[in-house]
Structure 1
Amino acid sequence: MPSYALTVGFDLDMTLIDTRPGIRAAYEALAAETGTRIDADLAVSRLGPPLERELAEWFPAERVPEMADRYRATYPALAVPPSPALPGALDALRAVREAGGRTVVVTAKYEPNARLHLDHVGLAPDAVVGSLWAEAKAGALREHGATVYVGDHTGDVRGARAAGAVSVAVPTGPCDAAELRAAGADVVLTGGLADFPAWLAAHTARGGAASTRA
């Protein structure tokens, strides 16, 4: 893999894309199909962890794998079209490229569905890695040489720290700024990704393109 002076990782759900409308629709369809009560509004209020963890709140453990397969099968048609990019997402990826860098999306979402989301909203990272959560994201971040990881969840902060990357947090998901700081985020962009290009310019000006926490 080529060496880049700057590689920035991004989470997907509630960092780059507001997947709540689509995920709500997918849960509502699964509830209707199975006759199982699922509080879709509650489910989308705590996005971040793997799908199976949320499904375990509504189905017996032995049914979770089957329900995960069914959810993922209906996801492209139900969840991708209504989910928009979050404000500043396109400019955030563009800022990395204009700085001569590379972008990688590392997400807990099933990778084929993550790619569909990105294509739908016109975001084109250099790489996408799915089905990784919290500290498990560290391996992919290290493999791709990411020295910065941007996410909205305390799990993303833990993943960045485990990878030795600078943790940049945005309070656009289920975790507020105080929670993200308490989890150890190096910086919290209170204005969301709209604040990222200016932060990145300052970071690279300080020689932070290839820096790590470790």
Structure 2
Amino acid sequence: MASDPSGTPLTIGFDLDMTLIDSRPGIHAAFTALSAETGVWIDADLAVSRLGPPLDQELAHWFPEQHIQAMGDRYREIYPDYAIAPTTALPGAREAVAAVQEIGGRAIVVTAKHEPNARLHLAHLGIAADAVIGWLWAEGKALALREYGARAYVGDHLGDIRGARTAGALAVAVPTGPCSSTELHDGGADVVLEDLRAFPGWLRAHADALASAGSDDASGS
């Protein structure tokens, strides 16, 4: 089993949107429904091209500041009806989470998404994370990563890299979201994988280093 010298299981964190799941079709449907309901134009194609930051940041492009809280509440309310079914698991997602668990580790999901909706996605897609922590973005993700003692955090966005580095965790990135491999490298990722299909092999090669010594010995790709 992979654990640190104190016996704590090796913990790896994963982002959700565009790391484990392709939520673009579902989010597109939810924004389209919100636009139809409110009569306010929302360019859903543009919105799903920049997933990562919290919902309020996207809503600020379409609604006056005084309406953002109410629109966010309504979006989260209708989200399960529109966004869960169309969303798919990204290639290698289930296998990546399972790879952590197969060596005796813990796989946690840390996301900016509304936590109940994050849980709905994972349940619908059969991705069995050991813990799900929502409502955290960028450096804020370090709160959960530190709490769970995560040695690495896997994400697709520059904000995910900042969260990992703030927590002192290895920043593992995949270019399956809005950021290219070059942007992720330049943004400070310790490791950039082509996608999550490469993760189990990388983990097997570096699990002992992650468990025993933290990130310094595990940055090889």
Shared fold (TM-score, shorter chain, > 0.5): yes
Partner of 2:139: 135
Answer whether contact 2:54 2:113 (CA < 8 A) is retained.
yes
CA distance in 2, matches of 1:134, 1:54: 15
Q: Does the C-alpha gap of structure 1 residues 107 and 211 become closer, same or farther in structure 2, counting only changes over 3 Å?
A: farther
Over the matched positions of the two proteins, sequence identity in percent amounts to 64
Alignment of 1:4-83 (within 5 A): 4-83=8-87
Partner of 1:164: 168
Alignment coverage as a number of residue pairs: 211
Q: TM-score, normalised by structure 1?
A: 0.96
Q: Quote the offset at 1:128 in angstroms.
A: 0.4
Partner of 1:147: 151
Q: Which runs of 5+ in 1 are unaligned?
A: none
User: SS of 2:36's equivalent?
Assistant: helix
1:195 to 167, 188, 198: 198
Q: Which runs of 4+ in 1 moved over 6 A?
A: none
Partner of 2:207: 204
Q: TM-score, normalised by structure 2?
A: 0.93
Residues 1:101 and 2:105 are matched in the alignment: yes
User: SS of 1:175's equivalent?
Assistant: coil
Q: Which runs of 5+ in 2 are unaligned?
A: 1-5, 217-221
What's the CA shift string for 1:58-111, capped at 9, x where partnerless?
Answer: 000000000000000000010001101101001001110111100110000000
Aligned alpha-carbon RMSD (Å): 1.3
Q: Quote the offset at 1:211 in angstroms.
A: 3.4
CA distance in 2, matches of 1:124, 1:210: 25
CA distance in 2, matches of 1:186, 1:132: 21
